[in-house]
Chains A and B, each alone.
Chain A
Amino acid sequence: MKSFKPWKMLVLVMSMLLVITACGNQGSKDGAAPNSQGAGNKTNANSSTPPDPLGKYPEMVTVTEVLGYNPPEDSRTPQGITPEQNKYLEDLKEMLNIEIKYKWTVPQSQFEQKFSLAMASGDLPDIMELNMKDFEKLKKQGILGDLTEAYNDYASPALKKYMESDGGFAMSTFTSDGKLLAIPAFEDPFLSTQLLWIRKDWLDNLKLPVPTTMEELDKVALAFVNDDPDQNGKNDTYGISLQKTLFFWGFDLRGFFNGYNAYPSVGDNQTAWIKGDGDQLVPGLIQPEMKTALGKLQEWYKNGILDKEFALKDENKAVEDLTAGKVGISYGEWWYPNWPLNLNVDKDPKAEWIALQIPGLDGPGKSLVPKLRSNKLFVVNKSMKNPEAAIKMINFYIEMGYKKYKEDKGAEKGYVYNWFNPRIYNPADIETIYTEVNKALEANQEEITIDDENYTSVARVFDATKDYLAGNTEKASKGINWGQYYSRAAKDGGWGVTRTIKESGAYVNNEFYTLPTATQVEKGPQLDKLMQESFTKIIMGAPLDEFDKFVASWKSLGGDQITQEVNDWYSKEAVK
């Protein structure tokens, strides 16, 4: 112990501490840098020049975002590309001198969790994509920046045209105390119409007619289970595709319930609100029609039309089954051919899918259509120094639709459009594509002639359609071309059938279109759990009377209160 030099030890400890703390400082400096950089150049950008929707900042502006991403839709996209490498970001930097920094990026399935965590810690980016519920929360906490001025000064004519295309209905929903707090990415509500997708080649194999009523669908589905529709000699098919979330964005049963005149949900697990007797809204989730429909599902589960283990499956598993040709019927929207049906078409050349208006009790049924389709809102953080940058970025995305940008800006070059935020579509995008492509087809044109910001989206579908009809698979596989054509342009395809439904009025409106009420926010998850648990159990064989118990619990656990709140809103504020 004599040779022990305490001060040496002390120096060692202190120096180690120093290293540790120095590292910590380093980290926070890095994190803070982009903000201070962004702050500096706002003034000189604004004061000297008049607002230009696509004006380039003299100095680089850095904005932060977070991203939940799905794999690129287009299979021509380079393998292994990351959101940071998206070519749109490069162009954005070049054109507007705006740089996007992602605080984090996660696969879409983890986004909700990760974003909740970010909200809890208050670590939010400059520009955010929100759903209605999160919008309400952040609004209440006063974290949303005012976009009124930025929008008025900087919105491009195209953006203004889109926003006013519904008479300002969507925008007014997100304005509070005269302040515009979000740019809603609203779309034609009929895009949410559920159709029935069915394998025509299987129907032909079994010599069955196209089903128009529930009774017929029942027969077809049973035949798809038992009669070897793919004629491979194996008992390896089941009837209707389903995964564990009963009301979802696809591979679910909304359309099935609609066929029984039951309108439980628009797909977010919250109930849909339909007109009851008199001037009241009633929750579709607890109407007696639901019980009949659940009874049918129970029967379907028993005789194998539904997968025995649907309650363990997520959407990826459901897609696997569709792709592998294990199932030939699915309820879904107009975009199905675009994904995942195209995968099945590519895998099995014999596969032929058709779209049908949903079967109902006697003849085709009425699908549920929301009043407002806007699940995505773009907002800015109050602390953001350049809120107009968000508007400019939207302008940028719309601008990229012009013909002059189309040259080598395809997916194969690394342009992944669905990773770019904030992005606003033409609310009538699909309708424009449908009419323009069909016009060009009838006139036997070789190229699309329109010249506005819709060019790219119309041309993309037109080219794919041409290729598909000519059997040309040089640029893309048959499935991809067919997907583009059959979802958007074909008269008997996704949007074609949806249009006829719209015209013939074969739909029921979800009348509730505003932000969730206070009780919905508070009790929603609990009611959701109750519903999911009860319905799954009933389908898997619990007594049907469980439904009555469910209704009673739903009401007492907050359902009645929500009904009250919804009707208060409906009688005072709703546009009827």
Chain B
Amino acid sequence: MKTLKKESILHLMLLPGVIVTLIYAYGPMAGLIMAFQNFEPLSGFFKSEFVGWDNFKYVFELPDFTQVLWNTIIIAICKMVLFLLVPLILALLLNEITKQWFSRVIQSAIFLPFFLSWTILGGVIIELFSLNGPVNGVIESLGMEPIMFMLNNSWFRGIVIGSDVWKGMGYNMIVMLAAITGINSTLYEAAEVDGAGRWKQMLNITLPGMMPILVLLGVLSLGGILNAGFEQILIMYNPTVYQGGDIIDTFVYRLGMFSMQFGPAAAIGLFKSVVSLIMVSATYYLAYKYNDYRIF
């Protein structure tokens, strides 16, 4: 009680932040009521008719929903795994480079695409993989048949996943490099004395030392199991690859924006959030149980 009094002024200073969070993060949650209404924008939340679970039923019974859900999960999981693996390998490799300037240049080059928006990159990638694009140029010069990447369902998924990982891998790589730097250097010295080579050092010191950050990144990414990258896919897809590339977000977007079905769109949004919450809680629990790791 005494400390509370002493720190009261500090708590007071926290207040604006709390209020803003309440208004902008928790306030809009009231809008979720839309998921249970036959929502008409101009009647608002109060006058729109309540329809219970009808919106959810409607959405789950849409013939395309299973396909869309499946696409989302496949794309999201592939992205999640690669977003851990690729940056990890990159970070470990970069760590082995002794020439400082060289490693810096590589780092920056890898990090750069992270800052470009999909609006630009999407167009670039479509051009790259088009029938007359450079990629097909190489394929043809090798004497093979050109491939219509962007119009082929299996290729399209691969390109979506690959390009997103390529674009975003720099971020996780930097985080992991930072984790490596944080490992106590005396451990390496001790290992050298014991006769461990670079490979053994990596396996027995670097990797275990990075474990907490790997778990953290993994846990945080699991919440996004139903986020497969809306902006990217919206820009890159076309009707021919709906079958393999249409994800929940693009589906909701078409449902909500073009046919103005706000109720069902909100219902899917709520569904996504609930799934995310479950995933995050579950992995958090597992990480705690098996790795004794906790974020909070």
* Interface positions of A (Cβ within 8 A of B): 6, 9-10, 13, 17, 112-113, 116-117, 119-122, 137, 140-143, 244, 308-309, 311-312, 521-522, 524-526, 529, 532-533, 536-537, 540, 553, 557
Contacts and interface: CB of A to CB of B under 8 A. Distances in A.
A532 B240 CA distance: 8
Contact of A309 (B16, B148, B262): B148
Interface residues of B, number: 31
A521 B130 CA distance: 35
A121 B41 CA distance: 7
B200 interface: no
Give the interface centre of A143, A244, A312 by most chain B CB atoms within 10 Å: A312
Nearest to B126: A312
Contact of B238 (A120, A244, A522): A244
Per DSSP, chain A at the interface is helix
B42 interface: yes
A141 B40 contact: yes
A312 B41 contact: no
B27 interface: no
Interface stretch (B75-83, B167-175, B211-219, B253-261): B253-261
Contacts of A141: 40-43
B9 A312 contact: no
A10 B12 CA distance: 8
Interface string B123-144: 0001000110000000000000
5 nearest CB pairs, A to B: A6-B9, A525-B259, A141-B42, A532-B239, A311-B240
A309 B240 CA distance: 11
A181 to B, nearest CB: 15
A117 B41 contact: no
B32 to A, nearest CB: 16
Nearest to A20: B16
Contacts of A244: 238-239
B262 A120 contact: yes
A525 B254 contact: yes
A330 to B, nearest CB: 21
Given A308-B148, A309-B148, A533-B239, A120 B41 contact: yes
Given A244-B239, A311-B240, 20 more contacts: A13-B13, A112-B258, A113-B258, A117-B257, A119-B260, A137-B260, A140-B40, A141-B41, A309-B148, A311-B238, A312-B151, A312-B238, A521-B259, A522-B261, A525-B258, A529-B64, A533-B239, A533-B240, A540-B240, A557-B63
Contacts of B243: 533
Given A113-B257, A308-B148, A536 B13 contact: no
Nearest to B19: A17
Interface in B240-283: 240, 242-243, 254-255, 257-262
Give the interface centre of B16, B126, B260 by most chain A CB atoms within 10 Å: B260
B16 A311 contact: no
Give the interface centre of B126, B148, B255, B257 by most chain A CB atoms within 10 Å: B257
A17 B16 contact: yes
A474 B262 CA distance: 55
Contacts of A119: 41, 260
Interface in B6-46: 9, 12-13, 16, 40-44
Interface string B70-100: 0000000000000000000000000000000
B259 A13 contact: no
A361 B127 CA distance: 39
Contact of B130 (A17, A120, A309): A309
A422 to B, nearest CB: 22
Nearest to A120: B41
17 contacts: A9-B9, A122-B44, A244-B239, A308-B131, A309-B131, A311-B239, A312-B126, A312-B151, A525-B254, A525-B259, A529-B242, A533-B239, A533-B240, A533-B242, A533-B243, A537-B240, A557-B63
B9 A524 contact: no
A9 B63 contact: no
Contacts of B13: 9-10, 13
Nearest to B44: A122
Contacts of B239: 244, 311, 529, 532-533, 536
Nearest to A118: B41
B155 to A, nearest CB: 13
Nearest to B152: A540
A553 B63 contact: yes
B120 interface: no
Interface string B147-169: 01011000000000000000000
B240 A143 contact: no
A142 B41 CA distance: 11
Contact of A536 (B41, B63, B240): B240
Contacts of B43: 141
A533 B150 CA distance: 14
Given A10-B9, A244-B239, A522 B254 contact: no
Nearest to A119: B41
A120 B242 CA distance: 26
Given A142-B42, A308-B131, A309-B130, A522 B9 contact: no
A526 B62 contact: yes
A6 B262 CA distance: 48
Contacts of A140: 40
A116 B242 contact: no
A529 B251 CA distance: 11
A311 B153 CA distance: 13
B67 to A, nearest CB: 11
A137 B254 CA distance: 17
Nearest to B246: A529
Contacts of B257: 113, 116-117
Contacts of B262: 120
Nearest to A382: B42
Given A309-B131, A309-B151, A537-B240, A122 B9 contact: no
Contacts of A532: 239
Contacts of A557: 63
Nearest to A556: B63
Nearest to B62: A526
A244 B254 CA distance: 17
B66 to A, nearest CB: 15
Contact of A524 (B126, B131, B151, B259): B259
Contacts of B16: 13, 17
